[in-house]
Amino acid sequence: MSLFRYTKTIFPAIVFFVSNAGDVRADGRDQIHIVGSGTLFPFTTIAAEEFGKAGKFKTPIVEATGTGGGFKLFCEGVGEDKADINDASRKITDSEKATCTKNGVTDIAEITIGYDGIILANKNGAIPFDLTKKQVFMALARWLPDKNGKLVANTYQAWDEIDPKLPKQPIEIYGPGTVSGTRDAFAEMVMEKGCEQFSEFTRDYPEEKERKKVCHNIREDGKYIESGEDYNITVQKLAADNNALGIFGFSFYVQNHSKVQASKIEGVTPAVDSIVSGAYGISRGLYVYVKKQQIGKIPGITEFLKEYTSDAAIGPEGYVTAKGLIPLKPEALKAAQATAKSLAVK
C-alpha cells in the first residue's frame, strides 16, 4: 500500500491525512514526507515545526511507523507518492538495501543525529531492578535449555525463579513490536548477548545467522506484551502496575522520569555519560536516511536537513537536545552537518 493513501501522525502538534495517491498536486508535491522510528519521532517533529515556522517551506509530515515499517515505505520506490526520509533507531540492513535497489532507490545518504540508550523501566516507587543481559534473555527468550540441555519452551513465570536475588514478582514486560528499530536493537544488544552465554544454542545452531535468528525470538505466552510505537501507552501501563517493566529509548525516559525509574544493566545506570561512553551496555546511534533522488523534486529536503543537523537543533544546547536527544560528539556533529550540506541541489 502506498504511504500517501493513508498518512497520519500520532503527535498532537502535527496531524495530517492524505486520502490517496491521486490527491497529490498535479504540479508536484510541495511537502516533505518523513516516516520511521518512534524513538526519533518527537525529535523530528520538533525540527519539522521549527523548519515550518521559517515560512519558506511547508512543515514536513512526520509519521511514526517504526524503523522497519519506515524502511518498507522508504524502499517502495522513487516519486511524489513515496517517502523522502526515514528516521531509524538502527542502521539499514542488507536486505532493506536490496529492496531499495530492486525498487530503484539507488542513492541514499545516512546521517547520524544523536545517541540513545534502550531502557528497561518500571513505576517510580516499585522495586528497582539491576539486571544482567543473561537474566533479561532468560525472562524473554522463546526457548531455553532444560536441566538435560535440551532447548524447550521458556517456562519462567517470575523473576526470582531466574535468580533468587531478583524481586519475587511475575515477569511482565511491555515492549515495541516487530517493525520497531528499538526492538531490533534490543534483540541484537540484549537477547543475542544473553543467548551467547548458553552453549546449547551454539551446539544446536552452529551456523551463526540461523543461531542469531533463534536467539532473537521473544516468547509469545503473554510475558512480553507488544505496545506499539506510542511509548506513552507503555508509560501508562507501568503507572498502573507495580509488576510491569517497559522497554523504550532513553529520551522518552528523560521526558517521563517523574513517573518511571530506569533499571541498571550489568550494574550500570543509564545516563548521558554512560551511554556516550558505551559503559551502559544497551547504547546505540540514531539516524536519518535520505532518498537523494527526491532532492530537487520535493522542495526543502536539503534545507530541512541543514536545520535538523544545526547546532541550534542537535548541538549541546539545541532545542532538540533539550527534549532528551543525547548530542553527538563535536567531530560527529560536524560530519553530520557536512553530509547535510553536501546534499544541496547541484
Taking CA atoms, 91 is separated from 123, 180, 182, 236, 289, in Å, by 31, 12, 11, 29, 9
Q: What is the tally of structural domains in the chain? A: 2
Taking CA atoms, 198 is separated from 9, 150, 157, 184, 284, in Å, by 42, 11, 20, 21, 25
- Is residue 144 domain-shared with residue 279, that is, in the same domain? yes
Which pTM value belongs to this model?
Answer: 0.80
User: CA-to-CA distance for 65 and 87, rounded, in angstroms?
Assistant: 9
Where among 244, 263, 283 does a domain terminate?
A: 283
- Is residue 253 domain-shared with residue 326, that is, in the same domain? no
User: CA-to-CA distance for 47 and 60, rounded, in angstroms?
Assistant: 9
- Is residue 107 domain-shared with residue 122, that is, in the same domain? no
- Is residue 121 domain-shared with residue 110, that is, in the same domain? no
- Which residues span the domain enclosing 111? 3-115+285-342
* The Cα angle at residue 111 between residues 82 and 76, in degrees rounded to 5: 20
In 23-44, which positions are buried (b, 16+ CB within 10 angstroms) versus exposed (e)? ebeeeebebbbbbbbbbbbbbb
> CB under 8 Å to 177, separation ≥6 — which residues?
66, 183, 226, 227, 228, 229
- Is residue 79 domain-shared with residue 159, that is, in the same domain? no
Here the cell at position 76 is 517502495
- Is residue 315 domain-shared with residue 270, that is, in the same domain? no
DSSP state of 141: B
- Is residue 139 domain-shared with residue 160, that is, in the same domain? yes
Angle between helices 301-308 and 330-342 (to 10 degrees): 170
- Is residue 86 domain-shared with residue 171, that is, in the same domain? no
**Parallel, antiparallel, or unpaired for β 151-153 and 143-145?**
antiparallel
Count of residues in the chain: 346
pLDDT tens sequence for the chain (346 residues): 334 333 333 333 333 333 233 333 334 789 999 999 999 999 999 999 999 999 999 999 999 999 999 999 999 999 999 999 999 999 999 999 999 999 999 999 999 999 999 999 999 999 999 999 999 999 999 999 999 999 999 999 999 999 999 999 999 999 998 888 899 999 999 999 999 999 999 999 999 999 999 999 999 999 999 987 778 889 999 999 999 999 999 988 988 999 999 999 999 999 999 998 889 999 999 999 999 999 999 999 999 999 999 999 999 999 999 988 999 999 999 999 999 999 976 5
- Is residue 203 domain-shared with residue 121, that is, in the same domain? yes
- Is residue 293 domain-shared with residue 272, that is, in the same domain? no
List of E strands, 215-337: 224-226, 245-249, 260-262, 264-265, 283-291
User: CA-to-CA distance for 186 and 171, rounded, in angstroms?
Assistant: 17
Helix (H, G, I), strand (E, B) or coil at 245: strand
User: CA-to-CA distance for 212 and 75, rounded, in angstroms?
Assistant: 25
Here the cell at position 178 is 516487530
Helix (H, G, I), strand (E, B) or coil at 253: helix
Amino acid (one-letter) located at 61? I
Burial class of residue 21 in the structure, from the number of CB atoms within 10 Å of its CB (0-12 exposed, 13-18 middle, 19+ buried): middle
Angle between helices 67-74 and 94-102 (to 10 degrees): 20
